[in-house]
Amino acid sequence: MPVWNIIQAVNDALRVEMRRDPRVVVMGEDVGKFGGVFRATSGLQEEFGVERVFDTPLSEGGIIGTAIGMALYGLRPVPEIQFADFIFPAFDQIVNELAKFRYRSGGEYPCKVVIRTPYGGGIRGGHYHSQSPEAYFAHTPGLKVVIPSNPYDAKGLLIAAIRDEDPVLFLEPKRVYRAARGEVPEGDYTVPLGQAKVVREGQGVTVLCYGAMVHTVMEAVDKQGAAEYDPEVIDLRTLVPLDTEAVLGSVRKTGRVVIVYEAPKTCGYGAELAALIAEKALLHLEAPIARVAGLDTPFPYTLELEYLPSPERIARAIANTARF
């Protein structure tokens, strides 16, 4: 079984689906001959030709609008937005069109589009190449939001997303694009959307995280002494639909919760998790819910490491919650 990074896993997932289903097409800025800015689509145009893997103008609204039209005519486009920070010019197309077509047509016109985009900080990209916009889109009914943390999940979740009947925003944690490596089966397999994964079983504190933060949390556990509090680490994998049973089951077991995400703290996805736990598992809590998140500022360049949740901040939150 090959050992791949996330880029290789994403590339193979696209290749598997394009070989299986001629309706799958890949489009975006520099995704063709160049293979994308991170090389996630490298070699696809050579195999499948320019009609199925093609470059687009630098117009995110145009990319998504075109993908919507293609999907309505029966194709399964997988557009790439080069950085998640650039997705906002396409916000209207995604929120007001893509997410609503299946509902407004009574199911007659499902819009099967998977938008791939790298997100998050950690590469010294500054405030225009480091944002985490997942909460904006998790707020949008009709749109699924998926965030893998490792190569195995990246391939399986992407294949599942392409086969899904709903539009999917597939956010890829670029900080660990090449750093996260693992065994990935060749050929066809899926990881179901809406199922979280227990990365580490424990009894002391539930730690909820996703994307690159899974690795930062595990560093806090393995290197910063948080293991002594016996944390249970859960990788959500899919924000919408959320695996509420996995979240609530763990919270009812441990009675303590730390939520880790790198977007700004205020109104971030962690706030929704905290609300869910307060509504459904309040009487099981033995300590206040803690959030370790980015700061409520634009993403900085020189102070990037101070902005992002660090293993030290996470370990401190786990300790304070466990000792409350």
Q: Is 129 a catalytic residue?
A: yes
In a domain, 14, yes or no: yes
Instruction: Give the CATH number, domain containing residue 148.
Output: 3.40.50.970
On whether both 161 and 203 belong to a single domain, the answer is: no
In a domain, 179, yes or no: yes
Assign 257 a pLDDT band (cuts: 50, 70, 90). Answer: very high
Backbone angles phi, psi at 50, to 5 degrees: -75, -15
User: Looking at residues 29-53, what average pLDDT do you find?
Assistant: 97
On whether both 112 and 247 belong to a single domain, the answer is: no
**Domain of 141, in residue numbers:** 3-183
Q: Which of 129, 139, 215, 284 is catalytic?
A: 129
Which residues, 6+ apart, have CB-to-CB distance to 87 below 8 Å? 60, 81, 94, 115, 117, 133
On whether both 170 and 39 belong to a single domain, the answer is: yes
What pLDDT digit, counting tens, does each position of 63-95 carry?
999 999 999 999 999 999 999 999 999 999 999
Alpha helices in the chain (DSSP H): 6-20, 44-48, 60-72, 91-92, 101-104, 134-138, 151-163, 213-223, 244-254, 269-280, 304-307, 311-323
Assign 182 a pLDDT band (cuts: 50, 70, 90). Answer: very high
- Are 37 and 203 in contact, with CB atoms under 8 Å apart? no
Evaluate the CA torsion angle 143, 148, 154, 160 in order and state its sign: negative
Which residues, 6+ apart, have CB-to-CB distance to 207 below 8 Å? 217, 231, 232, 233, 234, 257, 258, 259, 260, 314, 318
Q: What is the pLDDT of residue 238?
A: 98
Assign 172 a pLDDT band (cuts: 50, 70, 90). Answer: very high
Q: How many residues does the chain have?
A: 324
What pLDDT digit, counting tens, does each position of 225-247 carry?
899 999 999 999 999 999 999 99
On whether both 219 and 318 belong to a single domain, the answer is: yes
Q: What is the pLDDT of residue 145?
A: 98
- Are 241 and 194 in contact, with CB atoms under 8 Å apart? yes
On whether both 146 and 224 belong to a single domain, the answer is: no
Instruction: Give the CATH number, domain containing residue 239.
Output: 3.40.50.920
On whether both 313 and 215 belong to a single domain, the answer is: yes
CA angle 155, 235, 254 (to 5 degrees): 160
In a domain, 27, yes or no: yes
In a domain, 191, yes or no: no
Number of domains in the chain: 2
In a domain, 244, yes or no: yes
In a domain, 220, yes or no: yes
Pick the more confident residue, 288 or 124.
Answer: 288
Q: What is the pLDDT of residue 208?
A: 98
Assign 16 a pLDDT band (cuts: 50, 70, 90). Answer: very high
Please list the helix, strand and coil fractions of the chain in percent, rounded to the nearest 5, in that order.
Answer: 40, 20, 40
On whether both 258 and 202 belong to a single domain, the answer is: yes
User: Looking at residues 190-197, what average pLDDT do you find?
Assistant: 98
On whether both 46 and 118 belong to a single domain, the answer is: yes
Q: What is the pLDDT of residue 153?
A: 98
Write the DSSP symbol of residue 266. Answer: T
In a domain, 190, yes or no: no
- Distances in Å between the alpha carbon of 160 and those of 183, 190, 274? 18, 5, 28
Which residues, 6+ apart, have CB-to-CB distance to 300 below 8 Å? 126, 127, 306, 307
Q: What is the pLDDT of residue 76?
A: 98
Assign 199 a pLDDT band (cuts: 50, 70, 90). Answer: very high
Of 183, 215, 238, which residue sits at a domain end?
183
Of 129, 155, 183, which residue sits at a domain end?
183
On whether both 112 and 149 belong to a single domain, the answer is: yes
Q: Is the peptide bond before 173 cis (omega within 30 degrees of 0)?
A: no
Quote the CA–CA distance of 196 and 192 in Å, as a whole number: 9
Of 183, 211, 242, which residue sits at a domain end?
183
Which residues, 6+ apart, have CB-to-CB distance to 118 below 8 Å? 38, 82, 83, 84, 171, 172, 173, 174, 177
In a domain, 188, yes or no: no
* Closest residue by Cα to residue 148 from 186, 77, 196: 196
Q: What is the pLDDT of residue 30?
A: 97
On whether both 169 and 262 belong to a single domain, the answer is: no
pTM: 0.97
What pLDDT digit, counting tens, does each position of 269-307 carry?
999 999 999 999 999 999 999 999 999 999 998 899 999
On whether both 168 and 26 belong to a single domain, the answer is: yes
* Average pLDDT value for the chain: 97
Assign 308 a pLDDT band (cuts: 50, 70, 90). Answer: very high
* Closest residue by Cα to residue 307 from 82, 137, 124: 124
On whether both 144 and 214 belong to a single domain, the answer is: no
